[in-house]
Amino acid sequence: MPAIEVRHLSKTYRVYHKREGLWDSVRGLLRRQYKTVEAVRDVSFTIESGEMVAFLGPNGAGKTTTLKLLSGLIVPTGGAATVLGYVPWKREHAYRRRFSLVMGQKNQLWWDLPAQESFILHKEIYRIDPEQFVRRRDELTDLLQVRQLVSQPVRELSLGERMRMELIAALLHSPEVLLLDEPTIGLDVVSQRKVQEFLKFYQAQRKITVILTSHYMKDVEALCRRAVIINQGEIKHDGPLAEIVERFSRNKVVHLQFAGTEVPDDLASFGHVFDVEPPRARLEVPRERIAEVLTALLARYSLEDVGVQERPLEEVIAEFFTQPEAAGAEAALA
């Protein structure tokens, strides 16, 4: 049985539309105008137990709304979903003990108290056995390298340290499903790496089901093999992460190192030249022309090294988000 099943899930909001100007504001008191916003539109996907799946999309795409629906914080307008066999928005106590939601921009720890006090509160809320609580707390604080910091007020911790404490609080009751919404937002490179390494190790050891939303593609590449892309409230891609570049990128990157000290000035006839550091150059070439272009380059120039690579994942996804209609049309043809 899948850990998470979502079928035709939709969520719309009725938002008050206020016009500018004093007179329009007065009229709005008497006759209010509303518009309907579709945050999530007919979304369907399935996640098997033990999977770690990236849930990607631009700001406003519906990622956080979907996670709030799966955690039971809000009720859908239409469709259905089950997590571990439970309907999330029924908010049954048995379900709430089996999942955790971590939001990078929201704090669950008490700001003025040491993290260890918030941990004790979680112990009481989730009715964790005292011996198990101590064992779990010590294990998690050691893995995340923050044991010496649990007695400091949360407000005195760095952003990276606070996020690691948030993860500990979320995992104290051993959830089977973990929903992560931008867990590394704003963190420095070192803190990002520590969070990544911990999540990768913990998920491999515990086999929990994880949904990760992130704009930081290094998180996604390090942790997930499968990605679900949502844009404008709809699912645009659901499949292996490795397929995204192949599916949505029309070009590949050709790396050239010339035998001399100069770079020819007519490279633009072979593709888009975007980086030149003599005697090296890089250009983008349509995927279907790679063999033809390489043959022509080798016949015309003396080259010491040639390489062909896929475009970086972050570039492909950024392009997909900024050109949704073109990417959607390409996806339909794939």
DSSP 262: S
Token pair, residue 237, equals: 């891609």
Are the C-beta atoms of residues 233 and 324 closer than 8 Å to each other? no
Q: pLDDT of 158-206, one tens digit each?
A: 999 999 999 999 999 999 999 999 998 888 888 899 999 999 999 999 9
Q: Element (H or E) spanning 4, and its range?
A: strand 4-16
Pairing state of beta strands 4-16 and 78-83? antiparallel
How are strands ordered across the β-sheet holding 4-16?
34-47, 4-16, 78-83
Reading the block at residue 300, the tokens are: 């015309």
Q: Of all helices (H) and strands (E), which one includes residue 8?
A: strand 4-16
Residue 280 is predicted with a pLDDT of 92
Pick the range with the lowest mean pLDDT from 49-58, 76-85, 96-105, 247-256. Answer: 247-256
Does residue 264 have a pLDDT over 70? yes
Query: Would you tell me how many other CB atoms lie within 10 Å of the CB of residue 30?
Result: 6
Give the span between the Cα atoms of 297 and 295, in whole angstroms.
Answer: 6
Percent of the chain with pLDDT over 90: 64
What is the chain's Cα-based Rg? 25
Task: Give dist(CA 129, CA 164) in Å, integer.
Answer: 23
The backbone torsions φ and ψ at residue 7, rounded to the nearest 5 degrees and listed phi first, read -130, 110
pLDDT (tens digit per residue) in 2-50: 999 999 999 998 877 777 777 766 676 777 777 888 899 999 999 999 9
- Give the H or E element holding residue 209: strand 209-213
Task: Please state the length of the chain.
Answer: 334
Listed range (138-142, 230-234, 294-298) with the worst mean pLDDT: 230-234
Q: What stretches of the chain show up as alpha helix (H) in DSSP? A: 22-30, 63-71, 93-96, 115-125, 130-143, 159-171, 189-206, 217-223, 242-248, 290-300, 313-322, 324-333
Mean pLDDT of the region 48-64: 91
Pairing outcome for strands 280-286 and 272-277? antiparallel
- Under 8 Å between Cβ of 33 and 15: no
Helices (H), 144-188: 159-171
Give 331's pLDDT tier (boundaries 50, 70, 90): very low
Q: What is the mean pLDDT of residues 260-274?
A: 89
pLDDT for residue 14: 84
Q: Which residue has the tokens 């963190």?
A: 187
Mean pLDDT of 295-303: 92
Least confident of 61-65, 69-73, 245-249, 295-299: 245-249
Q: Is 249's pLDDT higher than 50?
A: yes
Which domains are assigned to the chain?
4-245 (3.40.50.300), 250-310 (3.30.70)
Share of the chain above pLDDT 70, in %: 95
pLDDT band at residue 326 under the 50/70/90 scheme? very low
Q: 95, 141, 96, 99: which is closest to 118 by C-alpha?
A: 141
Q: What is the mean pLDDT of the chain?
A: 88
Whole-model pTM: value is 0.80
Helix (H, G, I), strand (E, B) or coil at 90: helix
